[in-house]
Amino acid sequence: MDTYPLQYDMPLFRPPSEARSLIFQVTLGCSWNRCAFCEMYPDKPFKVKNEKVIREEITKTAAVFPHAGKIFLADGNAMVLSFKRLQNILNLINQAFPEVTRISSYALPQDILLKSIKELVQLKKNGLKLIYVGIESGDDELLKLVNKGETSESTVNGLRKAKEAGIKTSVMILTGLGGKKYLEQHAINSAKIVNLTKPDYLSTLVLMFPQGISHYKKRFAGTYIPMTIEDTLNEMKLFLSHTELERTIFRSDHASNYLTLKGTLSRDKEQFLDKIKNAIQSPREVGIRPEWLRGL
């Protein structure tokens, strides 16, 4: 659309559920940018965007889309901004978009932990209602091998702090992250971490190798043994079977997943496990996405 008022600094990523949201890039890249599996911002150094530029973009966009209801703050972890900076941005958004119902962003657990509960409550009051956190794994050994820069403890503490402030959490687990060697501990400890933090939303993505598997092997600080589709489904089965959740909305519908599962945990847990079991037994008949069948 030629009247679109924003010039994005590419690449731009957002969670699938923010497909219809307005996006403002308030930071560029990721302040950590060192995870072994991540190919999101290899050539995009982290930068905090100038406040004057952000103000102009918000004002210009509001003139074109005054009724925007959902707004996502990009890039990789806008929550790294100081409380004061975030507060100013939320105030500008609230003034410019009177109908806004939800503002969200990606966050690292450390970004949350650097803010006080009082500050997080204030951000929530100003519209920051949802944060997306890539947990990737609940297994400390694996978090270290992929250089995640977080531990299971920092992740639990960060997510609990956000929850205590009333901010909803949407978390991601990366299936296949440790390969065959770490399959079991990755699945079981990832279930443990989601049980401890009870996120509002949980999704799984399957590890992909956009730069090739040898590139990942070089960056992985352990022995990475590739997994078959069956291994991946087994890991998913083990993970889900260890979850003990009450009202977490679960999705494995990202294009990387071999099998689409959507529902609520634990209500739909048995149904998910049956579906995975059937897909392992009869992949050509049950549910495996056709684009993946050639890999079997």
Q: Which residues bind ligand SF4 (CB under 6 A)?
A: 30, 32-35, 38, 40, 76, 108, 134
Taking the complex as a whole, how short is the minimal distance between the CB of residue 56 and ligand SF4, in angstroms? Answer: 26
Rounded to a whole number of angstroms, the minimum distance from the CB of residue 61 to ligand SF4 is: 24
Distance CA 27, CA 13 (A): 12
Q: Least CB distance from residue 69 to ligand SF4, whole Å?
A: 26
**CB of 32 or CB of 216, closer to ligand SF4:** 32
Specify the residue, 33 or 126, whose C-beta has the smaller distance to ligand SF4: 33
In terms of CB distance, is 97 or 216 closer to ligand SF4?
Answer: 216
Nearest to ligand SF4 of 96, 206 (CB atom): 206
Q: How far is the CB of 293 from ligand SF4 (least distance, A)?
A: 29
Q: Which is nearer to ligand SF4, 138 or 283 (CB)?
A: 138
Instruction: Considering the complex, state which of residue 110 and residue 232 has its C-beta at the smaller distance from ligand SF4.
Output: 110
Task: Give the number of other CB atoms < 10 A from CB of residue 104.
Answer: 25
Nearest approach, Cβ of residue 35 and ligand SF4 (Å) = 3
Here the tokens at position 236 are 């998913």
Spatial separation of the C-alpha atoms in residues 81 and 23, rounded to whole Å: 16
Least gap, CB of 40 to ligand SF4 (angstroms): 5
- Could you tell me the smallest distance in angstroms from the CB atom of residue 23 to ligand SF4? 16
Q: Pick between residue 77 and residue 197 the one whose CB is nearest to ligand SF4.
A: 77
Write out the DSSP string of the chain: -TT------SS----GGGTTSEEEESEES-SS---TT--SSTT---EEPPHHHHHHHHHHHHHH-TT--EEEEESTTGGGS-HHHHHHHHHHHHHH-TT--EEEEE--HHHHHTS-HHHHHHHHHTTEEEEEEEEE-S-HHHHHHTT-S--HHHHHHHHHHHHHTT-EEEEEEEETTTTGGGHHHHHHHHHHHHHHH--SEEEEEE---TT-HHHHHHHSSS------HHHHHHHHHHHHHH---SSEEEE--STT-SS--EEEETTTHHHHHHHHHHHHH-TTTTT--HHHHTT-
